[in-house]
Structure formats: structure tokens, C-alpha cells
Amino acid sequence: MTRGEPLPAAERTLYVVATPIGNLRDITLRGIDTLGQVDVIAAEDTRVTAVLLAQHGIRTRLLSLNEHNERRRAAEIVALLASGKRVALVTDAGTPGVSDPGARLVRAVAESGFAVVPVPGPSAVVAALSASGIAGPQWLFYGFLPAASAARRASLKSLADLPFALVFYEAPHRVRDALAAMAHELGAMREVVIARELTKRFETIHRCPLGDATAWIDADDDRHRGEFVLIVDAPPSRGKQASDDEHDATLTLLLAELPLARAVRVAAALTGAPRKRLYERALVLKRATGEDT
């Protein structure tokens, strides 16, 4: 077999295939090959997956597998694998098993002694992080917060002091309440990146302090619509904050070229220092040079 030629799908194997999170062209060549070669595709919503398959001329048999029937379907799919079939698992969008059905099936297949092969591809978490501008090397993916307000606040309180960027999924009807709770429990000055409708026509990526996030959402009814990834930057590390002198040097250079508010935003991104503290220092520097703010 020559290099680059697709491998045929193996018998008695479950392929976990990532599918587009919006734009139907965001699927790997290997993903297309696999979906065309297997005997059955287990799909969260067969109607959604049928659209993707039609886009690529694939006519593989579909079988529904969702949060309500996963346990029963897992037994059926194990039986299919035992009979020598090849099965692919897909979700409506992104990677199966990541805040979507699939983990129970994967475990059942593995415990039955059959192979599980990942076919990686689109992920809303990774797509949002890649465009966030948040440079922290460690981040925590939480997924969906609890829907009940008290449980949501308790969950956020437990995360508040962790030294990581925090990544959440959120539904449109809960996004405003979630952002308000984040501002209260995590701190209004921590930066949030709101990634909405990733890879779709109305994709939006907005950065602001958590304290400003609900006002941004409320400024346009369309901003309440779609699927959301919310990324909250890590809290500043108190033990590693630079001195005021070091911050002042950065601010002085930026203030010479940028308006005050923009200079503070850039300085916060570069230093990781709290924006409120940098704003206070910028005001001091402006006054010291006799400039109006």
C-alpha cells in the first residue's frame, strides 16, 4: 500500500469519528474514508448525520445512538462487532464522548474485547482555545455547568482559585445567567472569551472582562443565539506578579502609542496582571506626564 493511501476499515472495530461543528467541509479525509467503509454508523441524530453523508456521497446504514438509548444500543453494537461488522460512532457535531453521547458505548466495546480506534478531527473546545489568545499552558475543560443557579454558583466557587484557564460549554437560553454567575464567583476583572457559532456563518469571538460580559450579550438579541464556548482566563498568580516598576515600563511604552484603555488591555494580555491594577498605574503615569486621560 502506498504512502497516503487510506487503510480499509478493519472488521470487529468501532471507529470514533469526529465530525464538523458547523462548516460541513471541516471533516478529515480519513473521516470521510472511514464513514464510507464501515457497515453501520451509530449517530446521535440520524437526520443531522444524513445531511453530512449526503454532502460526501456516503450511503452507509445509520443507527440512532443518543443519551436515552445508549445502554440498549451499546449491546446491539457489541453484537454487530461480534458478527464481524465495522461500526463508526459520530455525534451531531465534534468529537463523540466530549459532552456528547458515546462514552458508555466505547467502554462496552473495549470491555468486550473489540478494538476502538479514534479518528480525530473538529472539536469546539480546541477551536475556541486556538482563537482565544489565552496563552496559559494549562486549562481545564468543565463542559456544561449545572442548570440550577445554586448548583452553578457552587461549581464556580470550587473552580475560582484553580490556576488554570476554565473552558465551558453553554446553551443559548442559559448563557447570560452563566456569565453573570461567573462574574460574581470568579471575579469581574477576569477576562472571558465568548466564542459563539464556531465555523458557522455568524461565528463571533469576543473578549472582555467578565463584569462586562452580560452587557455585551444584552446589546444584541442575536448574541443570545447559537452554541457557546466560554473561556475564562486563569487568575493572576500573586506570587509571580511583576513589580509596579516592571508594569510601568510596559505601560509607558504602550501609552506612547495607544489610547489609555487599549494600552491597559494590551498590557494585561502581555503581563497577566489584573486589569484594574494596570488601569490605576496607567492613570498615575498619565498624571505624572501631565497628559489628560
For residue 246, the model assigns a pLDDT of 75
**Bigger pLDDT: 148 or 273?**
148
For residue 125, the model assigns a pLDDT of 94
**Which stretch, 145-149, 223-227, 288-292, has highest mean pLDDT?**
145-149
Q: What is the mean pLDDT of the chain?
A: 90
pTM tops 0.85 = no
Q: Tens digits of per-residue pLDDT, 69-84?
A: 999 999 999 999 999 9
292: confidence class by pLDDT, cuts 50, 70, 90:
low
- pLDDT of 87 strictly over 60: yes
- pLDDT of 50 strictly over 70: yes
Q: In the chain, what are the domain boundaries?
A: 13-122, 125-232, 238-288
- Domain at 13-122, CATH class: alpha beta
272: confidence class by pLDDT, cuts 50, 70, 90:
confident
> Of 4-8, 9-13, 161-165, where does mean pLDDT reach its minimum?
4-8
CATH of 125-232 given 3.30.950.10, 3.30.70.3270, 3.30.70.20, 2.70.150.10: 3.30.950.10
* Rounded mean pLDDT, 164-168: 96
The DSSP code sequence of the chain is: --TTPPPPPPTTEEEEE-B-SS-TT-S-HHHHHHHHHSSEEEESSHHHHHHHHHHTT---EEEE--TTTHHHHHHHHHHHHHTT-EEEEE-SSB-TTSSSS-HHHHHHHHHTT-EEEEE----HHHHHHHTT----S-EEEEEEPPSSHHHHHHHHHHHTT-SSEEEEEE-TTTHHHHHHHHHHHH-TTSEEEEEESTTSTT-EEEEEEHHHHHHHHHT-GGGGSS-EEEEEPPPP-GGGPPPHHHHHHHHHHHHTTS-HHHHHHHHHHHH---HHHHHHHHHHHHHHTT---
Q: Tens digits of per-residue pLDDT, 198-226?
A: 999 999 999 999 999 999 999 999 998 99
